[in-house]
Every structure is written in structure tokens, then in C-alpha cells.
A = this chain, B = another copy of it.
Amino acid sequence: MFQLHPRLAQDTFRLGDWPLCRLLLMNDVRFPWLILVPRQKQVSEISELAARQQQLLMTEIMAAERVLRTAVPVDKINIGALGNIVPQLHVHIVARQHNDAAWPAPVWGHGAAIPYNKTQRQRIMPKLQQAIDRITW
């Protein structure tokens, strides 16, 4: 059975399940930052997925980007599959702005996350949820 890695569970809010992946929001108010986690057991690399799942993952990454573009301002999208620290396969889709806290550096390993406060969370969650509701499979 699929179980979200405890570190991912701790660092994120759950947004929902798509055909292949669980969709998460990183709890870091510095960057609108989604994470896709294929609901598979013990997969660390995209190459371990079946070819059909790899293609579906690309489709879901593009859908996550559309969610971000609908919900928040975006100057550039950053996409990454690293997994050097958390071994469970997960893909980052990050909305970058030219004046964000790390620009133009990558967000990974850049300072410490600043968790959303209640007001900030109540502002972004409905926007993301509305954008997610527009995605059809």
C-alpha cells in the first residue's frame, strides 16, 4: 500500500489525488510550490515507473503548472526530481518570481522554509482548490 514518506507528510498540505499522484502544497510561504508523489510503493526514480506511468506523470506535471498559473503570479516554472534526501519519488513544481527569496537560484536547499500562517493559508488554499477543480482527466 502507498504511504507518504513522513518527511513529505510533515512538510506539506494535501491537496488531493490525481490519477497517478498525490498532489501536495509545500508548507513554505516563500514560494508557491507543489509536489507530485506517484502513489506507488518503493519507487525512487521516474525510470522505475512503467512507460505509461511516466507519460501520465508528465501530464500531471503540466496540470500542476496550470494550477499554479491559475492561482498565483508566475514568472518562471521550475520543475525538479531530486530525491537526494527523501528517497520516495516526488516531483517539485515551483512558481518562481523575479523578486522571490531565492531568485535566480534554485529553491532546493535555499534557507529555511517559512510556514504559512493561518491567514496566508486561508488565502492560497481556495485559489489552488478552484484551479484544481478546473482540471479534467
User: Which A residues are closer than 8 A to B by beta carbons?
Assistant: 44-47, 51, 54-55, 57-59, 61-62, 65-66, 76-85, 96, 103-106, 108-109
For A69, the closest partner residue in chain B by CB is B47
> Closest residue of chain B to A94, judged by CB?
B82
Task: Enumerate chain B residues within 8 angstroms of A77, measured Cβ to Cβ.
Answer: 45-47, 81
Q: Describe A's contact surface by its main secondary structure.
A: mixed
Copies of this chain, complex-wide, total 2
Q: Can you add 8 more A-B contacts, CB < 8 Å, to A44-B76, A46-B62, A80-B81?
A: A45-B77, A47-B62, A78-B81, A78-B82, A78-B84, A79-B81, A85-B104, A106-B106
Q: Could you say which residues of chain B place their CB within 8 Å of the CB of A46? A: 58, 61-62, 65, 77, 79
Query: Which B residues are in CB contact (< 8 Å) with A109?
Result: 105-106
Cα–Cα, bound, A79→B57 (Å)? 14
Residues of B within 8 Å of A61, CB to CB, are 46
The contact of A80 among B82, B96, B105, by CB within 8 Å, is B82
The listed residue (B51, B55, B84) touching A76 by CB distance below 8 A is B84
B54 touches A58 (CB 8 A): yes
In the complex the two chains form, is A80's CB within 8 Å of B79's CB? Answer: yes
Alpha-carbon gap, A55 to B66, bound state (A): 17
